[in-house]
Amino acid sequence: MLIAIPDLLDAAQLAEVRGLIDAADWIDGNATSGAQSALAKHNTQLPEDSEAARRAGNLVLDALAASPLFVAASLPHKIYPPLFNRYGPGDTFGAHVDTAVRIRRGSDFRVRTDLSATLFLADPDSYDGGALVIEGQFGEQRVKLPAGHMILYPASSVHRVEPVTKGQRVASFFWIQSMVRDTEARATLFELDTAVQALAADRGMADPEIVRLTGVYHNLLRRWAEA
């Protein structure tokens, strides 16, 4: 399931993040690659332990915590600290699958990568190419969103970034360990949650049937969650 999170960052937040990362020093993107990814990856990246990455990452984490759509879609248990990458002309990232468990270098912090996230930080008209292509059961999905928008997708999917031919594609990327490991169970909870919220907007949260459906949601979450 692919879920777009529109306007995760507003204009002011986006400008603050770009101000931090644009002024920083960038390194080879393979600094955090696994063996398979290193063969396909050609881009640059902020060092994950840099001050700019830490400060910009905290801004992204604050925005995630304030997004009901993100919380409902991912049911986050752990979030890997956001990383930042940049693709210039000729840069690309070939087909790959994300590592199942990400361990933050120099620490015991680790995340099971249930979901991958890409937060676009450059206007799509400012660069050519650079679409995120995600393979799924219904074929390939090409994603190139406005700056400040984010896409959530299964970390188990084969995906790639098409070559950039002009301009610079700038993004934040990270992984989420969900409280609900099973993809289908998580999708069911998301559909139920969004349906309940839509009905509640019409009837009100105190409506007896809304109360019952809310109970069904939480009982399923209680059954499936690992917290």
- Is 218 annotated as contributing to ligand binding? no
Answer whether 168's CB lies under 8 Å from 88's CB.
yes
- Which residues does residue 172 pair with via DSSP β-bridges, in sequence order? 84, 119
Pull the structure tokens for residue 193: 């949650």
Query: Any alpha helices (H) in the chain, and if so which ranges?
Result: 11-22, 35-40, 51-65, 68-74, 183-203, 208-224
CA distance 71 to 190: 10
Among 171, 218, 66, 186, residue whose Cα is nearest residue 115: 186
Instruction: Classify the phi-psi angles of 3: left when phi > 0, otherwise alpha if psi is within -120 to 50, otherwise beta.
Output: beta
- Is 193 annotated as contributing to ligand binding? no
- Is 96 annotated as contributing to ligand binding? yes
- Is 77 annotated as contributing to ligand binding? no
CA distance 40 to 91: 10
Non-local CB neighbours of 127 within 8 Å, separated by 6+ positions: 87, 164, 166, 167, 168, 169
The owner of tokens 């590592």 is 99
Residues annotated within the binding site for 2-oxoglutarate are 169
Residues annotated within the binding site are 96, 98, 159, 169
Residues annotated within the binding site for Fe cation are 96, 98, 159
